Amino acid sequence: MTTFADLGLSQKVLSAVTDAGYTVPTPIQAGAIPPALMRRDICGIAQTGTGKTASFVLPMLTLLEKGRARARMPRTLILEPTRELAAQVAENFEKYGKNHKLNIALLIGGVSFEEQDRKLERGADVLICTPGRLLDHCERGKLLMTGVEILVIDEADRMLDMGFIPDIERIAKLIPFTRQTLFFSATMPPEIQKLADRFLQNPERIEVAKPSSTALTVTQRLIASPTKDYEKRAILREIIREQTDLKNAIIFCNRKKDVADLFRSLERHGFSVGALHGDMDQRSRTNMLAGFKDNQITLLVASDVAARGLDIPDVSHVFNFDVPIHAEDYVHRIGRTGRAGRSGAAFTLVTKSDTKYLDAIEKMISKKIEWHNGDLSSLPAPAEGEKDERRGRGKGRDRDRRPAAKAAEPSHKADTANVQDSVESAEEVVATKVDSVKQERKADNRSNQGNRDKRHQSPNPANDDHRERRRNHYRDQDDGPTPIGFGDDIPAFMLIVANAKA
């Protein structure tokens, strides 16, 4: 059996690995570390949870033992799609590099430039960045990339999803061609393969898990659900309460607005819950994640972008509040549980409008997922259109679906939840009333935006290109379009006034 000592790592690194309690390298580590130490390019196809981070951090630490950093000329560069992943890689450098005296600089959004400048002045051995913030530093003339010996592009498929590829191409042009490149991606769609072909020279290819496979230890189930959000929330609560072995769970939503709504709703219903989405400031995100890791929070509602690649060990359950639109996101979400051979459970709420996405998922994972309590045909048909559906939810059908769960709750809690259920129904009614007004406002906004765009059109295409990059680079702080004004969160009373005027 291969041991860490067989891989060619330095004594300092081996001793830190022993202290971390690792005895056997994972397949990606055994495959990537020896060629990386020989300065070969690497194309690693590995999901998070496979020990992928150490597979580039350990050889980098060994290689960095020779040589010294110069002011504003980093020696190595690691690109990560999100701030959390960047911070996580920095933690790995601290853990495995505890016997080294290396300067690690983390350049992410939401942190002051001054602090980061000071680190760069001292000379960084390792620079860990989100693409936008790095380009910002380069533009400010604070950073020279000509000394970079090793470039790591991590989570390449996620970079593609987030629109970072043009930024990465710009960054790669600033780095000497003679560099060593370590490239990692969980999946290898054609666009990513093309990128790898452009960036890598004669790479060693290591593939440790089929990108389309889900762990065998995860029990996957589908839950037939009506389409309204408040109905989905009620069904989700019911499923959560059913799980006697639930230790902690991540609940995924497709949109960040739903993350916020679901978080508030679960909180109102007395669950121990946190949220993670791109609109939160860095401090809140870090605190939230720490609370979840320390088991102070049981449920974490998250969007794909915010949760992707985070190292949260031992999650017992994953709930998909929405069926993911991209089938590979399903694989990533499910990958949060059942890690390292542990058992896990994943439940996905499916509405009638989700069937094409579900088909794509089942095709990708090459198997049919079982329904938990009957498939979509078992859902009661809405009797008389939306209005009745709404009324029925508060009083009859929904309550009938979960008598055991309600009975199990303390009566005051059940009463409160009943009131809250009605509040949510009422909210839904108001939401529907104001929907048309919102549509009108959106149409107005769009036409105003069109006028603004026209006013700002530059005769110089280079400026447009620059502006597009600036727009994109803020994506590391976000996971969706930034709303104008109140966005979708316009207080209902304001809309009602607008309605009265019309």
Q: Is residue 26 a contact point for ligand AMP (CB under 6 A)?
A: yes
Structure tokens at 452: 């603004």
Q: Is residue 335 a contact point for ligand AMP (CB under 6 A)?
A: no
Among 50-58, 262-270, 330-338, 365-373, which window interacts with ligand AMP (CB under 6 A)?
Answer: 50-58
Q: Which is nearer to ligand AMP, 50 or 116 (CB)?
A: 50
Structure tokens at 294: 């320390």
Q: Which is nearer to ligand AMP, 95 or 119 (CB)?
A: 95
Q: Is residue 86 a contact point for ligand AMP (CB under 6 A)?
A: no
Asked whether 315 and 288 are in contact (CB, 8 A), the reply is no
Q: Which is nearer to ligand AMP, 269 or 308 (CB)?
A: 308
Name the minimum Å distance from CB 465 to ligand AMP: 35
Burial 208-237 (b: 16+ CB within 10 A, else e): bbebeebbeebebebbbbbebbbbbbbbbb
Q: Which residue is nearest to ligand AMP (CB)?
A: 53
Q: Is residue 51 a contact point for ligand AMP (CB under 6 A)?
A: yes
Name the minimum Å distance from CB 357 to ligand AMP: 27
Rounded to the nearest 5°, which phi and psi values hold at 385? Answer: 75, -175
Among 7, 9, 16, 25, binds ligand AMP (CB under 6 A): 25
Cα Rg of the chain, angstroms = 25
Name the minimum Å distance from CB 92 to ligand AMP: 7
Rounded to the nearest 5°, which phi and psi values hold at 127? Answer: -115, 125
Q: Which is nearer to ligand AMP, 135 or 318 (CB)?
A: 318
Structure tokens at 4: 């860490």
* Rounded (10°) CA dihedral 107, 109, 111, 113: 60
Cα–Cα dist 207/457, whole Å: 46
Among 10, 50, 248, 254, binds ligand AMP (CB under 6 A): 50
Among 30, 42, 48, 336, binds ligand AMP (CB under 6 A): 48
Q: Which is nearer to ligand AMP, 77 or 85 (CB)?
A: 85
Q: Which is nearer to ligand AMP, 50 or 130 (CB)?
A: 50
Residue 485 DSSP SS3: coil
Q: Is residue 338 a contact point for ligand AMP (CB under 6 A)?
A: no
Among 19-27, 138-146, 265-273, 478-486, which window interacts with ligand AMP (CB under 6 A)?
Answer: 19-27
Q: Are strands 218-224 and 150-153 parallel, antiparallel or unpaired?
A: unpaired
Q: Is residue 371 a contact point for ligand AMP (CB under 6 A)?
A: no
Q: Which is nearer to ligand AMP, 48 or 214 (CB)?
A: 48
Number of residues that bind ligand AMP (CB under 6 A): 14
Q: Is residue 313 a contact point for ligand AMP (CB under 6 A)?
A: yes
Among 30, 45, 54, 124, binds ligand AMP (CB under 6 A): 54
E strands present in 173-266 = 180-185, 204-207, 218-224, 249-253
- The CA-CA-CA angle for residues 265, 268, 270, to 5°, reads 115
**Which whole-number Å values give the CA distances from 258 to 186, 228, 232, 302, 474, in the listed order?**
26, 12, 11, 9, 21
Structure tokens at 160: 């593609």
Asked whether 107 and 128 are in contact (CB, 8 A), the reply is yes
Among 21-29, 287-295, 409-417, 479-487, which window interacts with ligand AMP (CB under 6 A)?
Answer: 21-29
Name the minimum Å distance from CB 22 to ligand AMP: 4
Q: Which is nearer to ligand AMP, 91 or 440 (CB)?
A: 91
Among 13, 41, 44, 52, binds ligand AMP (CB under 6 A): 52
Cα–Cα dist 59/57, whole Å: 6
Cα–Cα dist 353/50, whole Å: 34
Among 23-31, 137-145, 320-328, 437-445, which window interacts with ligand AMP (CB under 6 A)?
Answer: 23-31
Name the minimum Å distance from CB 21 to ligand AMP: 7
Among 46-54, 128-136, 351-359, 453-461, which window interacts with ligand AMP (CB under 6 A)?
Answer: 46-54
Q: Which is nearer to ligand AMP, 313 or 396 (CB)?
A: 313
Name the minimum Å distance from CB 446 to ligand AMP: 41
Handedness of CA 115, 175, 78, 59 (dihedral sign): negative
Strand order in the sheet with 344-350: 273-276, 299-303, 249-253, 317-320, 344-350, 218-224, 370-371
Handedness of CA 408, 412, 413, 418 (dihedral sign): positive
Residues lying near ligand AMP in the complex (CB under 6 A) are found at 22, 24-26, 29, 48-54, 311, 313
